[in-house]
Chains A and B, each alone.
Chain A
Amino acid sequence: MTTDVDTARRVRPGPLVAAGLCVLVVTLLVTVAIGPADLSVGEVARSIAGHLGLDVAPVPRLHDAIVWELRLPRVLTAACVGAGLALAGAVMQSLTRNPLADPYLLGLSSGASLGAVAVLVLGVSLLLPVAAFAGALLALVVTLTLARVGGTLTPGRAVLAGVAVAQLCAAGTSLVIFWTATGDSYREILTWLLGSLAGATWQSVAIAGSAVVVVGSVVLAQGVRLDAFAFGDTAAASLGIDVERTRWTLLVLVALLTGAMVAVSGSIGFVGLVLPHAVGALSGPLHRRLLPSVAIAGAVFLVWADTIARTLFDPRELPVGVVTALVGVPVFVVLLRRRAGTWGA
């Protein structure tokens, strides 16, 4: 019965993506206008148009700076990170045939966090995003190496090894904090572990944006191959898919994407876990329809979550990961109830 609801509520893919893009554009304009300094949506639009070289009535310089230097980079970073995490989650769930998989599955976020904390606390002389990225990649390499020890490298073993690596990195992070952190650095570390977009700059937009565009288009081109995994590896192979190559190519791409996301924003939970399921209920599970919609939905979701995080208790900021969890968990529970039939393995 529950699956009947899922297939009956589908929306056609064209209108779904078009509607999503409209919502995204409106979201970007509106959320840039929201904040302590009073701006109108019109001013936001004019400021952006001005910077894009269009001939429009100028905006007061202070407002223009708030839009272009402060809020727009942050909102765009949120959009890119949201899109990236949601895409990564959707691909991970398909590759591992595990509805609970998320972008952080292979120890990625823990490794990135350890790298970042090492920089923050130990004063390792590296840029923080670089350290986070390096930590994520290192965790991935350790995970895949562990998974290969004494057996063949299967997705199941990779996931188990990822759990172990995640625990190890978390312990390392705690240890570093326990021995060294004082005063303000605690706060900075906590913010980072729960995820935050407070430090977003145009550089973050460039990192997250190029990762989403490059990896996203490759992943989208593989959409049909991902569909072939619906009935498992043998079924995919008998449909002419090179199962191993497809799987590892996509795993590494998702790791790169996730590393880039964590590098600019810390580890923001629940976006990659919940959104593929929520969007899948509208678009259906086939990837050429699911992936574009899920990326747009992830962008919209995280932009709003971050807007709430930065304005709700102004001037204090909530870590955005707190907001995504507060919204994500109830959504997940609803999905769990509705899809009891298909998740009841």
Chain B
Amino acid sequence: MDVRIERLGVRLGGRWVVDGVVATPPSGALTGLLGPNGAGKTTLLRLVAGLLAPEAGAVLLDERAVHDVERRERARRIALLEQDSSSALPLTVREVVALGRIPHRSAWGADPDPGAVDVALASASATHLADRPWAQLSGGERQRVHVARALAQQPALLLLDEPTNHLDIAAQLSMLDFVHRLGADGTTTIAALHDLNLAATFCDHVLVLAQGRLVAAGPPTDVLTADLIHEVWGVQADVLTHPRTGRPLIAWGRATPDRRPGPRG
């Protein structure tokens, strides 16, 4: 699916949290959404998902404004995986994944694609968890199940808000490797990420936000420079080249406390 973000802006509590963002995340690829805390990453994802109405500009999916697409149709094309999503209900993993089928089902009718839950479980490598109670899973397993739920929606556009949060390093690597491989089936993915090295390793494209504005966009090798990192995050870093992948490898220096991070211009 072609996604175009056109001069997008929204205010929350009077402040422009997303401000004039123009971007074109490449289709069938993994785009990393980077930026310090409060840069507007989550809000931008909610705008792209159509859950929040923009005050300026638009998000276009295949040239149609996302906010004009009927809700259920939108939910069949876009899946959003929130940060820290949990439920107090005693659901099984299969039931959680089946929630992703809601936009495809009518109020009384059966699922038009009865195998979809199994396929989603299998592609997220969560089949062995299917009958476990969701509440008993580890953080990594829960995240895997959330991805399976999102895949059960059969989205063309997958939005992930910090999918590697609270995961150990092995789970982080396998999660991003998996998400990256989804691109081969044509799924366009945008993931908000905090770890710049993971973003450099797995993303095809990155967008860097600071205070609601887009400050850089492009392949990680071009974007993630020492200057940009210093400018946006206020941290000294050396950007090396990974000996095996050739991707940027960021070696952290120290934070510069006297300098508040901020956008250029």
Give the B-binding residues of A (Cβ under 8 A): 3-4, 6-7, 97, 99, 221-225, 227-228, 230-232, 234-235, 237-242, 280, 284-286, 339, 341-343, 345
Given A221-B107, A235-B82, the answer on whether A3 and B90 have CB atoms closer than 8 Å is yes
A6 surroundings in chain B (CB, below 8 A): 90, 133
Q: Do the beta carbons of B133 and A3 come within 8 Å of each other?
A: yes
18 contacts across the A-B interface (CB closer than 8 A): A3-B136, A222-B107, A227-B99, A228-B99, A228-B102, A232-B82, A234-B46, A234-B82, A237-B51, A238-B78, A238-B82, A239-B75, A239-B153, A240-B71, A240-B74, A240-B102, A241-B71, A285-B90
With most chain A CB atoms within 10 A of its CB, the pick from B87, B88, B96, B135 is B88
- Known contacts A3-B133, A221-B108, A232-B87, then 15 further A-B pairs from the complex at CB < 8 Å, ordered by chain A residue: A4-B133, A97-B88, A99-B88, A228-B99, A230-B87, A230-B99, A231-B86, A234-B46, A234-B51, A239-B75, A239-B153, A240-B102, A240-B103, A284-B92, A341-B135
Q: Do the beta carbons of A238 and B135 come within 8 Å of each other?
A: no
Shortest A49–chain B CB gap in Å is 33
Shortest A46–chain B CB gap in Å is 38
A3 surroundings in chain B (CB, below 8 A): 90, 133, 135-136
Q: Do the beta carbons of B90 and A224 come within 8 Å of each other?
A: no
Which residues of chain B (36-82) have a CB below 8 Å from chain A?
46, 49, 51, 71-76, 78-80, 82
Q: Do the beta carbons of B75 and A240 come within 8 Å of each other?
A: yes
Task: Judge if B105 is at the interface, Cβ distance under 8 Å.
Answer: yes
Q: Do the beta carbons of B80 and A238 come within 8 Å of each other?
A: yes
Q: Do the beta carbons of B71 and A284 come within 8 Å of each other?
A: no
CA distance A212 to B85 in the complex (A): 34
Give 8 closest A-B pairs by Cβ, nearest first: A240-B75, A240-B72, A6-B90, A240-B103, A285-B89, A238-B80, A3-B133, A240-B71
CA distance A223 to B88 in the complex (A): 18
CA distance A284 to B134 in the complex (A): 13
- In the complex, the chain B residue whose C-beta lies closest to that of A221 is B107
Task: Judge if B100 is at the interface, Cβ distance under 8 Å.
Answer: yes
- In the complex, the chain A residue whose C-beta lies closest to that of B134 is A3
Shortest B258–chain A CB gap in Å is 38
**1/0 per position for B112-136, CB-CB distance to A under 8 A?**
0000000000000000000101011
Q: Do the beta carbons of B102 and A227 come within 8 Å of each other?
A: yes
- In the complex, the chain B residue whose C-beta lies closest to that of A7 is B133
The prevalent SS among residues of B at the interface is mixed
Task: Judge if B91 is at the interface, Cβ distance under 8 Å.
Answer: yes
B100 surroundings in chain A (CB, below 8 A): 239
Shortest B3–chain A CB gap in Å is 16
Shortest B171–chain A CB gap in Å is 20
Choose one: A228, A286, A342; the contact of B88 (CB below 8 Å). Answer: A342
Q: Do the beta carbons of B95 and A286 come within 8 Å of each other?
A: yes
Q: Do the beta carbons of B88 and A343 come within 8 Å of each other?
A: yes
CA distance A343 to B87 in the complex (A): 10
Shortest A243–chain B CB gap in Å is 9
The prevalent SS among residues of A at the interface is helix
Given A6-B133, A230-B99, A239-B75, the answer on whether A284 and B90 have CB atoms closer than 8 Å is yes
CA distance A280 to B95 in the complex (A): 14
CA distance A343 to B135 in the complex (A): 11
A242 surroundings in chain B (CB, below 8 A): 71
A230 surroundings in chain B (CB, below 8 A): 87, 89, 91, 96, 99
CA distance A285 to B135 in the complex (A): 13
CA distance A223 to B103 in the complex (A): 13
Q: Do the beta carbons of A7 and B76 come within 8 Å of each other?
A: no
- In the complex, the chain B residue whose C-beta lies closest to that of A4 is B133
A235 surroundings in chain B (CB, below 8 A): 82, 85, 99
B46 surroundings in chain A (CB, below 8 A): 234
CA distance A255 to B16 in the complex (A): 39
B75 surroundings in chain A (CB, below 8 A): 238-240
Shortest A269–chain B CB gap in Å is 23
Shortest B29–chain A CB gap in Å is 22
Choose one: A97, A221, A238, A280; the contact of B79 (CB below 8 Å). Answer: A238
Shortest A325–chain B CB gap in Å is 25
- In the complex, the chain B residue whose C-beta lies closest to that of A341 is B135
Q: Do the beta carbons of A7 and B92 come within 8 Å of each other?
A: yes
CA distance A194 to B80 in the complex (A): 47
Q: Do the beta carbons of B89 and A342 come within 8 Å of each other?
A: yes
CA distance A225 to B108 in the complex (A): 11
CA distance A339 to B71 in the complex (A): 35
CA distance A227 to B133 in the complex (A): 16
A222 surroundings in chain B (CB, below 8 A): 107
**1/0 per position for B139-152, CB-CB distance to A under 8 A?**
00000000000000
Choose one: B79, B85, B153; the contact of A232 (CB below 8 Å). Answer: B85
Q: Do the beta carbons of A231 and B49 come within 8 Å of each other?
A: no
Q: Do the beta carbons of A339 and B90 come within 8 Å of each other?
A: yes
A241 surroundings in chain B (CB, below 8 A): 71, 102
CA distance A223 to B79 in the complex (A): 21
Q: Do the beta carbons of A285 and B91 come within 8 Å of each other?
A: yes
CA distance A242 to B70 in the complex (A): 10
Q: Do the beta carbons of A284 and B74 come within 8 Å of each other?
A: no
